[in-house]
Amino acid sequence: MQDLFEPFPRVKLDANGDPDPQATDDAVLKGLAVHAQASAATMNWGIWRWAP
């Protein structure tokens, strides 16, 4: 899950300080998506497995 936050400093921001996906390198966005998917799957597995 810690890897999910690693690409955030490389995400470009627009003039308002909002993330700008069109200005951000595709490799950064791809890495962010891969880590987000893996983190969500891990959390989902943990919740499902330990739910009463």
Domain count, the chain: 1
Q: How much is the pLDDT for 50? A: 66
pLDDT per residue over 1-52, tens digit each? 677 788 889 999 999 999 999 999 999 999 999 989 988 888 888 776 666 6
By residue range, what is the domain housing residue 46? 2-50
DSSP state of 15: T
Which amino acid would we find at residue 25?
D
pLDDT per residue over 31-44, tens digit each? 999 989 988 888 88
Do the Cβ atoms of 24 and 11 come closer than 8 Å?
A: yes
